[in-house]
């Protein structure tokens, strides 16, 4: 009788346990397995402000990383060329600001006073659709020309403020020279006794 009771209890426990486990929801860590694809297929980063003569490394690192070693298409201010993705899935570009009109990245590309844009597009093993894009913006500050009525790097005319002191300084210098000449001539006449 004991064996029969024990066998019935074990059978009941097994059936009850199976029923409970079949009704239980899956663990939250297992939901959606295998993991889904990366949905942040585009991104933008602001690099900051640069000046003529500055050199820096521009890292284009999308959320959905590029395929390591893959060819990535770069567009820098309208000029397109290729580069290779690094092992970490980013693209590194050496940027040299040659002038207010030229950047050396891989080829020479045009520079702009103000916002410059570099965009990388390439294959991604994790991106939804298999392609990822990352854009970097940086601002080139261009020197302004001084003087009156000068222009900024954007071609706009600066307003004239204050007085134009160069003209007055020249007149003052001429008066000082004339006064010195009068003093010298007067002293010579007194020394000669002709005054």
- Residue 76 backbone phi and psi in degrees, to 5: -115, 110
Task: Give the end-to-end CA distance of the chain in Å, rounded to a whole number.
Answer: 156
Compute the distance between CA of residue 95 and CA of residue 104 in angstroms, rounded to an integer: 6
pTM for this prediction: 0.57
Taken in order of first residue, the domains within the chain and their CATH numbers are 51-141 (2.60.40)
**β-sheet with 71-76: strand ranges across:** 42-51, 131-141, 114-123, 71-76, 79-84
Express the helix, strand and coil content of the chain in percent, nearest 5 each.
25, 35, 40
Tens-level pLDDT at each residue, the chain (195 residues): 555 554 555 455 554 444 444 444 444 444 444 555 899 899 999 999 999 999 999 999 999 999 999 999 999 999 999 999 999 999 999 999 999 999 999 889 999 999 999 999 999 999 999 999 999 999 999 987 655 444 444 444 444 445 556 777 778 788 888 888 788 777 777 777 765
Pick the closest to residue 135 from 49, 39, 81, 60 (CA basis). Answer: 60
């Amino acid at each position: 009788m004991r064996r029969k009771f024990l066998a019935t209890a074990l059978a009941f426990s097994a059936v009850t346990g199976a029923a409970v486990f079949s009704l239980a929801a899956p663990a939250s860590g297992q939901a959606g397995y295998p993991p889904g694809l990366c949905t942040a297929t585009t991104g933008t980063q602001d690099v900051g402000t640069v000046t003529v003569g500055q050199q820096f490394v521009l890292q284009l690192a999308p959320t959905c990383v590029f395929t390591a070693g893959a060819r990535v298409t770069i567009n820098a201010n309208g000029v397109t060329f290729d580069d290779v993705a690094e092992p970490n899935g980013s693209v590194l570009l050496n940027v040299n600001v040659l002038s207010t009109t030229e950047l050396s990245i891989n080829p020479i590309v045009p520079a702009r006073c103000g916002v410059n844009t570099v965009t990388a597009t390439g294959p991604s093993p994790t991106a939804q659709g298999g392609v990822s894009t990352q854009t970097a913006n940086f601002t080139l500050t261009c020197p302004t020309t001084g003087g009156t009525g000068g222009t900024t790097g954007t071609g706009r005319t600066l307003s004239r403020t204050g007085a134009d002191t160069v003209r007055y300084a020249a007149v003052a210098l001429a008066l000082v020279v004339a006064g010195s000449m009068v003093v010298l001539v007067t002293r010579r006449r007194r020394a000669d006794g002709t005054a």
